[in-house]
Structure 1
């Protein structure tokens, strides 16, 4: 990673709650104009890490620096936006009133029309927040997170509750913000979201980084390939084949996980040449996530 383009970092970060480690000797760097996705199962330490970086939670040891300032300092806050999972909004304000209020907190806010466009709220700016659906509330929270024209944006599960169209619109907004120079730290349970958006992925387990790299690098680190085909057979008949790790059946399809796709496929077709709908797929991010979390 380029030190010249680094805008924030954590080094040797540790945090425990009642003696139970939540973040363990963690290092990370955030680059200018980068989307960094932090993935992990529930309890992996994602939210704790985000709260430490935001200065909402103190750490036990280590170093945290954002824009050459202390996490939680006024200097850092002016350059940061955040959309968190737990957020309450006054229900008696309209969308436009929420946005105008948040803009007033910053010396150089993002233009109002631009905020509306990024969040896809142009047609509902006069609606009261109490009338919003779950997905629409997420869009408003996203709008509020960018009101300050942040250089670094934290998005904690931003597309929860959104329909596919709204989710795709948010993804495009994230790409546009990145293109404009904003760095984004994203936590999500939608692995497709991380796969589509992230330049780098940090995979946490029990507060530790177990893997980091691009989506392609993480997928390439998993040595399983899936051979899928249609057959009226017991999947157990394939368990002894070369390279086969596991076999399962879903409806009319059998899925064979193998560490040696070429030899497994040759052996399967040699014994069962009449198989239909045969496909071979490299492990996706979901398979990599599952394997690395074992």
Structure 2
């Protein structure tokens, strides 16, 4: 069953910047991977970094983590150079592909990672936040793919991160495990952690992010609050139970598409409000009216299609 995105807290425009790229360029031989991009991760916020494969997301993360030097521009992590060890101690990182020793138990892996930090989060708290209490004594190699992702998430929490990098964090998780991880991320954000999230699940970005950056061919197509990207000037879906002929409704101003599904009409309209008012006025027996806001997926597909 599909789940509706939960509301995310509003963005604080004056929250301090924890990680930042400013006019950053990265070149690989004859290919420019990043073409002067800007982005920043703020305390107590989730920034969703979206883009198709090859758009430059992985390169941007590598630069912010200090794994790759920028060819031009400024890079800051916790106020300094991301290649300094003191800055990296404030990080939590969950990459898309991670190899861990299969014979070690979950609690052993977490304890081993915690030993790298001067003030780690207590082991039992890490296991609880990652939903791993029942799996603490299981060997990593015996876990399912989704359970292994939860262990990787737990390791990212060990150092009480001020900035958390999550690269496709819920790949392989079922709905319940995904929502449990979302809740753990929200708790960290409420405590002041800044999160950079990359995901191909756009409903995940809707559920978590306050700010969205869309990359395409190494350029920033959009950098805006989530609410502006998914709602501004975009058609909305309307569904209702009505006897009105679909061909008549199709002629109304603002109606872009109409389909009949048994006793129901399904419309795509912009702006939606005048169309809803006319439906109510034209059909006194109208029932089961639903109006859905434009999804982030619609905005993302429009932007990347236009850029291509």
TM-score, with structure 1 as normaliser = 0.87
**Residues 151-193 of structure 1: CA deviation (Å, up to 9, x unaligned):** 1110111111111111111111111112222211111122222
**Residues 20-61 of structure 1: CA deviation (Å, up to 9, x unaligned):** 333222111222222211122333222221111111223221
Q: Distance in 2 between matches of 1:226 and 1:280?
A: 6
CA contact (8 A) 1:222 1:288 kept: no
Pairs within 5 Å for 1:47-196:
47-196=58-207
Q: Distance in 1 between matches of 2:187 and 2:273?
A: 41
Q: Distance in 1 between matches of 2:243 and 2:98?
A: 51
Deviates further, 135-144 or 258-267: 258-267
CA contact (8 A) 2:244 2:283 kept: no
Deviation of the 1:11 alpha carbon: 0.2
Structure 1 spans left out of the alignment, 5+ residues: none
Q: Distance in 2 between matches of 1:80 and 1:60?
A: 23
CA contact (8 A) 2:126 2:158 kept: yes
Match of 1:34 in 2: 45
Say yes or no: does 1:197 pair with 2:227.
Answer: no
Deviation of the 1:262 alpha carbon: 4.0
Q: Let me know the Cα RMSD of the aligned residues.
A: 2.7
SS in 1 for 2:256: strand
Q: Distance in 1 between matches of 2:231 and 2:89?
A: 39
Q: 1:208 to 1:122 in 2, by over 3 A?
A: same
User: Number of residue pairs matched?
Assistant: 293
CA contact (8 A) 2:242 2:283 kept: no
Match of 1:12 in 2: 23
SS in 2 for 1:293: helix
